[in-house]
Structure 1
Amino acid sequence: MTRSSTSSLSPGAATAAAGWGELLGPHRWRAVALTGGVALYAINVHIVTTILPSVVRDIGGLAYYAWNVTLFVAASIAGSALTGKLMGAMGARATYLMALALFGSGALLCGSAGSMGWMLAGRAVQGIGGGLLAALAYALIPLVFEPRMWPRAIALVSGMWGVSTLLGPAVGGLFAASGHWRVAFFALLPLLAAQAWLVWRQLGPATVRSASGPAQAVPLGRIALLASSVVLVALAAQADDDWLASACVLAGVLLAVWMARIDLGHRANLLPHAAYRPRTVMGGVMACIALLVMGSCVEIFLPYFLQGLHGYDPLGAGYATAAMAAGWSLGSLGCSGLSGAAALRMIRLGPCMMTLGMALLAFLMPAQWLPAGTLADGLIVLALGVTGLGIGMGWPHLVACALHAAQPGEENLTSSAITTVQLFAMALGAALAGLVANQAGLGAGGAEATARAAWVLLALFTLAPALAIFVARSVTRDR
């Protein structure tokens, strides 16, 4: 791999990471203010994942099941890309408060939805606010904390997904089981109000440094192309003819390539130039992040499979699925203190663990080779935990590599680019998951069709972390 900026590119090249006591001692409320938005974002993800089977039973729209994630994340891309510009124009605190207001407005729309179209509109509004919240967490880390505290702060951001595994499935599952799934969205509003108060108190101009570098222009045309490419792939799942589905996927890929070519020719970039070159550290890290996130998108359909094939109730399905996020959080928190060769080993080992976990899920989920029961349940939860652990154990060090590889003046751009790549991979993965599941016969109904869709979806998506194994080795070679 060629080195794209300073010599301090690896997690172990800088001073040893600060301890948790330093981050959560005098800076604890500032850290909570910074990461609370990600916690709300993650809680919402688990709420929606848990209640979606109940939603489609109530208002219909099974064919658009994956669109709830696809539109949410496609809109999040726009929110994420706008973060740097809005921070420069409004300041960090005002941008954060606006993000919370948008997120809450979307929750109100979703909770009052009478049709799938209305629901999807609410998810799009939520997505814009969610993209801002997700990007703000990474964008504020280098503006609030010293570089040696970055790995811990990044791990804390990832750890918010662990908080979501406690609250999200519980809130979604309890309300879905009682037939009141709408209230699950309204339950977020008090948490949003509390987070807004904390942001107002902790993230004022006195505590947040100004970002270096020139003011960022907003590449609205390229954002639109990126979001449109995802929507085209999602539309393929609704196509009646194979040729039309193929045309939608091809058009989506071409739009993404066109966006990349335009971005490389502009001074105001959506992503750093090095992110498009896979032989650079930045490019390899971004590719690895994208593959790991795409592989995790099978999570969208897991509650549906667990309820339909293994007899889970909504609450049980939500908590079982949350094992993936719990593994991610435990991996990030447990491995964030490593540095040097140990940190690089986590980057290499993570995709191997994720591939193993997903391959086991592909074997277990159809309930054909091992019947549903206590043993299968335990192995499914174990496989989900291993899958999440594989993402989390190298995640803080991948993100730290990208931040250290940023060119002077591109720190803010790199921070937002990490989130943009993560969200694009999530949106594209959700769209492809919907396409694969529908093509495998999910919409036909019945246990046999559901089992076939589960096997095809999980087997194909295992290829993403398998490919990340080779990318991760390339990122860490000779470092």
Structure 2
Amino acid sequence: MEQHGTGASDVRTSTGRWAELLTPRYLATTTMLCVGVALYAFNGFLVSTVLPTAVREIGGAALLPWSLTLYLIASIVAGASAALLKQRYGARKVLFAAAVVFLAGTLTAAVASDMETVLVGRVFQGIGEGIIAAICYALIPEMFPPALVPKVFGAEATVWAVAAFGGPVLAGSLTETFSWRVAFLVNAPIICLFLLLAAVMVPGGRRTTGGMTLSFPTQRLALLSAGLLVMLVAGLAPSAPVAATAVATSLLLIFAAVRLDHRANQSILPKGAFSLGSTLGLGLWVVLLMPLSQATSGVYLVYSLQNLFGYGPTHAGALGALMAISWSLTAIGVANLRHEGARRATIWVGPLLLVCGFTALVAAIAAGSTGLLVAAQITIGAAFGLSWGYLSQMLMETTPERERDKTSALLPTLQSAGYALGAAMAGLWANGAGLASADTPEAMRTILTLTFGLALVWAVPALLAARRAVRLAGAALLTS
């Protein structure tokens, strides 16, 4: 049987205080999980900052968008397989292998002499980070008591905020002072620290499988990869009909992968995933739809600040990072909630704030109001900070223990998929509306206002799904 961390045995003795994360019992574990998040967070900001400089030296500017596309596909597909890999080989071995793959990708990209080699490195980084993020999520309910789980999510949100501000500054400074290759290598000591902590803290056992041999879901992952690839490159289609055909094909491939998984004896997804009649299924829709909505800002907010509001890169980046800061501060603020009703309320109030935030953002873009835009960014960040930790905890606890690894590992994977699909959808809409050829600020403002309005298309059903999920969870609690 797989060993479990300290979480299961310390449920009754945990005080649920922030200071408990800093005690000898949990400090190394908390640090390890935060370092795993830091790998993903800092790497994203580092790469987006240094690659424009890299292509000026080694060429391949036309391949620049593929650095993110291939990374996302590799990360999502690897994350989807993480629970089965953990079950078969044990968390420690899988994390070690994933970290080594991530390190290999980092070194490959850092020494690359052409953009094609950088892309190979990005694929390796995606595979490694997808598995690391998924396994780290799966370890949270194993290694921490329930009272500390919201604090762990708050600590991870703080890492994101630090990366949002510090990542671009660090990468820019290293690139200007030394070279873009040195900036890439910042990941190396973080990976080494993660390997050391994983060796000490992560249980090395694996679960028994009842005599069954675990097979790798090659066909399902291939369909998922193909669907994501078609979706992410649909924005390059030469015409709207071709783009629409690509989107339809992508959705069919992803749907086929999910259907095959439902019928498989060894599924990737937990039983009831995406069902509209269960807390788990509805909650997973929220996990997908909220990032799907927020991805519009990730693609076009800084662009809008520079082209419509006249801000330079530094000020635009700082305003763009307000969302991450608000997320972190809110997550820390609500992590001490003890009443179960209040915790459940945050799960649906968060998506409600998301709807309000994007409504304000649409109005800010249309009116050119910086003050309203700042308020919108803070509200959107608060939406995630308020609901994300308790939503994740509810889904972990709702899942039967035998499938908890699948749900926990699916959460960061689904979040990445939401961002990837949302970015693709926003790009399709904006490009189809003629953003690239807009020749006046008024035309650009109209297109961007409508593009940000697309975020509401995903935020509203996220609110409805969260509200129903909380009701079902409350009803189940009363009958138990």
Q: TM-score, normalised by structure 1?
A: 0.85
Q: Deviations over 1:126-148 (max 9, x none)?
A: 11111012102111112322344
Equivalent residue, structure 1, for 2:359? 359
CA distance in structure 2 between the partners assigned to 1:317 and 1:112 by the alignment: 31
Relative to structure 1, the CA distance from residue 216 to residue 159 in structure 2 (aligned partners, 3 Å threshold; closer, same or farther) is: farther
Q: Is the 8 A contact 1:73 1:127 kept in 2?
A: yes
Q: Letter of the 1:293 partner, please give it.
A: P
What is the root-mean-square deviation in Å for CA atoms of aligned residues?
Answer: 3.1
Equivalent residue, structure 2, for 1:9? none
Q: Is the 8 A contact 2:88 2:206 kept in 1?
A: no
CA distance in structure 2 between the partners assigned to 1:320 and 1:178 by the alignment: 25
**Structure of higher RCO (CA pairs closer than 8 Å, 6+ residues apart):** 1
Q: Which of 274, 278, 286 is the aligned partner of 1:288? A: 286
**246-255 or 443-452: bigger deviation:** 443-452
Relative to structure 1, the CA distance from residue 261 to residue 311 in structure 2 (aligned partners, 3 Å threshold; closer, same or farther) is: same
CA distance in structure 2 between the partners assigned to 1:302 and 1:64 by the alignment: 23
CA distance in structure 1 between the partners assigned to 2:54 and 2:374 by the alignment: 24
Equivalent residue, structure 2, for 1:341? 341
Secondary structure of 1:275's counterpart equals coil
Equivalent residue, structure 2, for 1:319? 318
Equivalent residue, structure 2, for 1:395? 388
Q: Is the 8 A contact 1:170 1:318 kept in 2?
A: no
CA distance in structure 2 between the partners assigned to 1:64 and 1:458 by the alignment: 27
Equivalent residue, structure 1, for 2:121? 122
Give ranges in structure 1 of 5+ residues lacking alignment: 1-13
Following superposition, the deviation at residue 457 of structure 1 comes to 2.4
Equivalent residue, structure 2, for 1:83? 82
Q: Deviations over 1:419-474 (max 9, x none)?
A: 33222222212222332232233443766465455323212123211221111111
Relative to structure 1, the CA distance from residue 54 to residue 345 in structure 2 (aligned partners, 3 Å threshold; closer, same or farther) is: farther
Q: Is the 8 A contact 2:101 2:128 kept in 1?
A: yes
CA distance in structure 2 between the partners assigned to 1:169 and 1:216 by the alignment: 42
Q: 2:398 matched to 1:405? A: yes
Equivalent residue, structure 2, for 1:262? 260
Q: Is the 8 A contact 1:323 1:388 kept in 2?
A: yes
CA distance in structure 2 between the partners assigned to 1:452 and 1:64 by the alignment: 29
Equivalent residue, structure 2, for 1:460? 454
CA distance in structure 1 between the partners assigned to 2:15 and 2:208 by the alignment: 23
Relative to structure 1, the CA distance from residue 34 to residue 108 in structure 2 (aligned partners, 3 Å threshold; closer, same or farther) is: same
Relative to structure 1, the CA distance from residue 179 to residue 228 in structure 2 (aligned partners, 3 Å threshold; closer, same or farther) is: farther
Q: Deviations over 1:102-149 (max 9, x none)?
A: 223333444456666554443322111110121021111123223443
Q: Any residues of structure 2 matched to 1:359-378 within 5 Å, and which?
A: 359-365=359-365, 369-370=367-368, 376=370, 378=371
Q: Letter of the 2:18 partner, please give it.
A: W
CA distance in structure 1 between the partners assigned to 2:301 and 2:173 by the alignment: 18
Equivalent residue, structure 2, for 1:6? none
CA distance in structure 1 between the partners assigned to 2:458 and 2:60 by the alignment: 28
Equivalent residue, structure 2, for 1:417? 410
Equivalent residue, structure 1, for 2:272? 274
Following superposition, the deviation at residue 58 of structure 1 comes to 7.4
Q: Letter of the 1:292 partner, please give it.
A: M
Secondary structure of 1:76's counterpart equals helix
Relative to structure 1, the CA distance from residue 113 to residue 390 in structure 2 (aligned partners, 3 Å threshold; closer, same or farther) is: farther
Equivalent residue, structure 2, for 1:25? 23
Q: Letter of the 1:344 partner, please give it.
A: R
Q: Deviations over 1:346-384 (max 9, x none)?
A: 11111121222223333334xx632xxxx72x5434322
Q: Letter of the 2:285 partner, please give it.
A: A
Equivalent residue, structure 1, for 2:302? 303
**440-449 or 81-90: bigger deviation:** 440-449
Q: TM-score, normalised by structure 2?
A: 0.85
Give ranges in structure 2 of 5+ residues lacking alignment: 1-11, 475-480
Q: Is the 8 A contact 1:17 1:151 kept in 2?
A: no
Q: Is the 8 A contact 2:18 2:151 kept in 1?
A: yes
CA distance in structure 2 between the partners assigned to 1:121 and 1:56 by the alignment: 15
Q: Percent identity?
A: 32
Q: Letter of the 1:459 partner, please give it.
A: G
Relative to structure 1, the CA distance from residue 458 to residue 427 in structure 2 (aligned partners, 3 Å threshold; closer, same or farther) is: same
